[in-house]
Amino acid sequence: MQTNLVDQFVTQIIAAGDATELDQIYLVNQVLALVGDEARELMTTSTALIDLKDELVAAALKNGNCGPTLNEQDVLGAQLMNLLVPRPSVVNHNFWQTYQEKPEQALADFYQLSKRSDYIKTRAIAKNIYFVTPSEYGDLEITINLSKPEKDPRAIAAAKKVKATGYPLCQLCKENEGYLGRVNYPARSNHRIIRFKIGDEVWGFQYSPYAYFNEHCIFLSAKHEGMRISEKTFVRLLNIIEQFPGYFAGSNADLPIVGGSILAHEHYQGGRHNFAMMKAKVKTELNFAGFDDIAAGIVKWPMSVIRLCSQNKQQLVALANKILQAWRDYSDEQVDVRAFTGETPHHTITPIAHKQGNQLVLDLVLRDNQTSDKYPDGIFHPHQDVQHIKKENIGLIEVMGLAILPPRLEPEMQEVQKFLLGEKNDIAAMHLPWAEQIKAQNSITAANVDAILQTELGKVFARVLEDAGVFKQTKVGQEAFMRFVQSVGLN
């Protein structure tokens, strides 16, 4: 049945938010101010809020109230969805009022608001290819990231004409809350941040617009300061998992190559997800001298992970910091581990915190960002023979066992499948040796080609993580790992 487009959108805004029927005329006029009075006569058969928003954006595009680029359309779409979202003060008041009695309900409510308002791009995220594949380290998760829109050439051209303002300083600054956006910067009108404190520091909590896992969120400093792994990092991460029940919290490393994509702003990631690394068992127990309250060990994982478990937060922080400081200065030439080249540091840690029952758990992943003539992209980085699948940095999420593979792989893997089935194909030369090996080792049919290719992608990802591991999964590598932990001080 057809209904009036603007009226239907406003009806759904009232149903999904805190507005009432008394706000109906006001909301209609707010919509028309954004999309043009011409839209008042349009009809629709849609009832879903985001579909209605898209139709209003299309109407504004047609009547000249919206520019042609995807960025401009996103800006208008966010403004329309902002009519659903309360002011930041109200969002924060509602969150903390609910939190007093039901912390998990407060998180669930904010998560649902972020999805309803299209801040979390649920439809785009649904496009991602996702599967799980077994490995000797546990079930690895593979995602081919198709959710983030490709850059619009028109927006790129328009951005060159836009004067740089330096505001907001970066996409993680608190000043993004409610920011309109522009051709070279994402729309944030419908964006809200929950404020919370870690000691005397003010921090923000928000969900990731393009989530890779359940309730994928970001914890960001109120200050625009560069990332730095330190004793404070461990204090903050443990504080976060105590304040946000059921969530893990982790930090990307603070050095290039082994770090995340944004090193200019102190932030952590978290969410309600149990990664393969978190489920991995300790293979070698360790007893650090002076830390009797801590159960420690080396984790059976392709990267080099020391796990610390205790109810004693102060001891956890102290031992984690001792390991960090030891690692920053530690070298072992036998296995190409070097703390410095001249004055340039190479060593840091990717730390992850979560709770296991009543125990606080800190996983410390040792990182080394050296390069060499043989490995110009990084000695402990995906090596060239696997870069046809993954050549980007191995960040926090991948460290824990969830591969984020580039969108180019979707069409490329279709051609690999055709090759494996003996069909006419346009396989990329870089995939050919790998595909030939797969074909030689398997009896491939149309019924099993998907499963075989997924398994083989999982094997490549396991290799990628092994490449990024500082102490290799060999007798020599594990003996070197023990030398390091002994240097920290064992009983």
User: 63 with 142, same domain?
Assistant: no
pLDDT of residue 164: 65
Would you state the pLDDT for residue 149? Answer: 66
289 belongs to a structural domain = yes
Query: Domain for residue 328, yes or no?
Result: yes
Residue 46 falls inside a structural domain: yes
Closest CA to 87 of 217, 9, 191: 191
How many Cα neighbours within 13 Å face the side chain of 113?
27
Four-point Cα dihedral 466, 467, 469, 471, nearest 10? 90
Classify residue 22: in a domain, yes or no.
yes
pLDDT of residue 158: 55
**Number of domains present in the structure of the chain:** 2
Assess whether 16 and 133 both reside in one domain. no
Token pair in block for residue 17: 């938010």
3-state secondary structure string, 33-53? HHHCHHHHHCEECCCCHHHHH
Mean pLDDT along residues 40-54? 97
Same domain? 410 vs 315: yes
Percent of the chain clearing pLDDT 90 (strictly above): 94
| 330 and 399 share one domain | yes
Binned at pLDDT 50, 70 and 90, residue 157 comes out as low
Residue 161 forms part of a structural domain: no
Same domain membership, residue 402 and residue 291: yes
Residues 9 and 144 in one domain: no
Does residue 134 share a domain with residue 76?
Answer: no
Instruction: Please state the separation of Cα 194 from the chain's center in Å.
Output: 18
Predicted pLDDT of residue 151: 58
Handedness of CA 170, 172, 174, 178 (dihedral sign): positive
Across 200-208, average pLDDT: 97
Same domain, 363 and 429: yes
To the nearest 10 degrees (0 to 180), the angle between helices 49-63 and 70-81 is: 130
Q: What is the pLDDT of residues 221-270, one digit of tens each?
A: 999 999 999 999 999 999 999 999 999 999 999 999 998 778 999 999 99
Q: 401-443: per-residue pLDDT in tens?
A: 999 999 999 999 999 999 999 999 999 999 999 999 999 999 9
Domain boundary among 59, 81, 103: 81
User: What is the rounded average pLDDT of the residues 335-339?
Assistant: 97
Instruction: Identify which of 333, 365, 340, 403 has the alpha carbon closest to the alpha carbon of residue 258.
Output: 365
Confidence of residue 183 (pLDDT cuts 50, 70, 90): confident
Same-domain pairing of 337 and 452: yes
Q: Is residue 177 part of a domain?
A: no
What mean pLDDT, rounded, does the chain reach?
95
- How are the residues of the chain apportioned to helix, strand and coil, as percentages rounded to the nearest 5? 40, 20, 40
The size of the chain, in residues, is: 491
Average pLDDT over residues 122-149: 94
Residue 422 falls within a domain, yes or no? yes
- Whether 121 is covered by a domain: the verdict is no
pLDDT in tens, 380-410: 999 999 999 999 999 999 999 999 999 999 9
Q: Are residues 144 and 12 in the same domain?
A: no
**Domain residue limits at 349:** 128-148+253-261+271-491
Report yes or no: 302 and 465 within 8 Å, Cβ to Cβ. Answer: yes
Segment 186-199 mean pLDDT: 97
Exposure pattern of 252-288 as b/e (b: 16+ CB <10 Å)?
Answer: bbbbebbbbebbebbbbbbbbbebbbbebebeeebeb
Last residue of a domain, one of 50, 81, 112: 81
Are 365 and 470 found together in one domain?
yes
pLDDT tens, residue by residue, 284-314: 999 999 999 999 999 999 999 999 999 999 9
Determine the pLDDT at residue 162. 58
Q: Are residues 132 and 27 in the same domain?
A: no
Task: Identify the three-state secondary structure at position 131.
Answer: strand
Confidence of residue 184 (pLDDT cuts 50, 70, 90): confident
- Domain limit, last residue, from 48, 65, 81: 81
C-alpha separations of 124 from 145, 173, 191, 324 in Å: 10, 24, 17, 39
pLDDT of residue 166: 86
